[in-house]
Amino acid sequence: MLPVQGVGLAAMQVYSEFRRDGSWVDSNWGRWIRSLERIEWLKSKGLLSNERELVHFVASRACEFESHWPEDFRLWLDHGVNGVRLNAPWARINPERGKFDQEELSNLAAMPTIGKQMGLSKPAMTWYHWQMPGWADDIGSWKNPDMPKYFEDFVYEGMQRIGNMPMLHTIINEPTVDAMFTRRWRRWLAHKLGDVEYMEMLERLAEAHIRARKIILSIAPESEISIAHATTWNDTNVPALKKYWDDEGYFFIDLLRDMGGPDVINRLGLNLYFRRTGNRGQDVRAGWDGQVSYSPNQVFSDVCELTNGLKWEMCPEVLYHVPLAYWQKYGYPIYITEHGYPIEGVEDYRKCWAIAEGIEQLHRCAQAGVDLLGIYWWAGLDNFEWGEGWGNFGLVHVDRKTQERKPKKSLEFLRDCVAAGGLTPEVRERWAPFITRPLAP
């Protein structure tokens, strides 16, 4: 087993949309998911036949992580988890330009501090730039050249409270995906944004990282500095296609290194889910999200997001092929900052299978010489999944009405693997009904 067996969370998916005084947290994301434009779009897709159904498509209370995090930490710790990837909620912390919510800052600093006291050896912080304050949306979001400075101010205020606590900081999360989606959460691909706008946003995100890195290291010089980079296993036997996809996958890291030097990060985080394939004996074309594959015995997740109706191929092999490729190219020690699949229900045997296979692939990767430091399984909790409704990625089920938490079988399985030091024969035998490869639907 890797030294860090953690879980990940995203601020916009687990935090309530409301402050403790009942006021609404004004953010670009909250504006979009409640907008008339989006409501009409949901209706046009047949997903919203009446206004009462809208409750499923807005975050509202979400997981109320802002107040439930101590009990969540205890639940994860009791199941062998020793790391939590936290997210600093920019919209909650910085509600007005130049003004910062002191209660939110205190809560932010308490999480890694108390987490370590409780027994978390590796809390991590992501400085979450996706969900930005409403005022930042008003001035143009990342189209505004001053946005990296505002992001730097946000990180500075947070680090002043956190102080000199060495931990993993993933400053920029999925920059190429963020640039692709645009500032108002419309699902347009990069070419529809236009090359100039797409590039400008990536350059500003890189500048924001460089600024934030300087702040973090000035306050906590022993910190691990990373990004969380979304990428895929480009599994194709077409050389030109392989090069095109690889160049796309390496682009932002190369840009960041060009702007800030090779020490701009000292760790590399990889958000991994699936593979892209092309021309492996079939006349197929992979979409940007990697839905096409050729395996004769695929295992699928449940529907990821209600508005696209897609199932993901569950492909644990990405945990071998992708870290190996990035290690050979860059040589940075690697964290898997996200990996998981959406599965309905508490008896989530397919996720148990995926974790079992994932542990094997990570061991294979480490045996190949990759400096793997740990994994943050996605996700710690069932949560509000983007703008598409309540999600089912979690290792813990959350009842939206009562906020009751219930560990799923996948978390219990992970606990047994950690306790045994890996996927031992005893663990395999005990969990055989849950980790036998499921039949393809």
Q: Answer whether the bond into residue 379 is a cis peptide, omega within 30°.
A: yes
Q: Do the Cβ atoms of 96 and 18 come closer than 8 Å?
A: no
The residues, ordered by sequence, that sit 6+ positions from 165 with a Cβ below 8 Å of its Cβ are 112, 113, 116, 220
Characterize the bridge pairing of strands 4-8 and 372-378: parallel
Name which of 232-241, 255-264, 293-302, 430-439 the model is least confident about.
Answer: 293-302
> pLDDT digit string (tens) for 191-201?
444 455 788 88
Q: What is the pTM assigned to this prediction?
A: 0.93
pLDDT category of residue 54 using cuts at 50, 70 and 90? confident
Rounded to the nearest 10 degrees, how much is the dihedral formed by the CA atoms of 278, 280, 282, 286?
-20
pLDDT category of residue 296 using cuts at 50, 70 and 90? low
Helix (H) / strand (E) element for 407: namely: strand 405-407
CA-closest candidate to residue 338, choices 377, 366, 395: 377
339 within a domain of the structure (yes/no): yes
pLDDT category of residue 292 using cuts at 50, 70 and 90? very low
Range of the domain at 398: 4-435
State phi, psi for 26 to the nearest 5 degrees: -80, 115
406, β-bridge pairs: 397
In this predicted structure, what is the pLDDT of residue 288?
Answer: 41
430 within a domain of the structure (yes/no): yes
Q: Do the Cβ atoms of 336 and 326 come closer than 8 Å?
A: no
342 within a domain of the structure (yes/no): yes
pLDDT category of residue 39 using cuts at 50, 70 and 90? confident
Q: Do the Cβ atoms of 336 and 230 come closer than 8 Å?
A: no
200 within a domain of the structure (yes/no): yes
440 within a domain of the structure (yes/no): no
Maximum separation of any 2 CA atoms in the chain, in Å: 59
Name which of 121-135, 234-248, 314-328, 391-405 the model is least confident about.
Answer: 234-248
Which of the 8 DSSP states describes residue 273? E
CATH of the domain at 430: 3.20.20.80
In this predicted structure, what is the pLDDT of residue 275?
Answer: 85
**In the predicted model, what is the mean pLDDT of residues 240-259?**
92
441 within a domain of the structure (yes/no): no
115 within a domain of the structure (yes/no): yes
Q: How many domains are there within the chain?
A: 1
147 within a domain of the structure (yes/no): yes
> pLDDT digit string (tens) for 3-17?
999 999 988 899 999
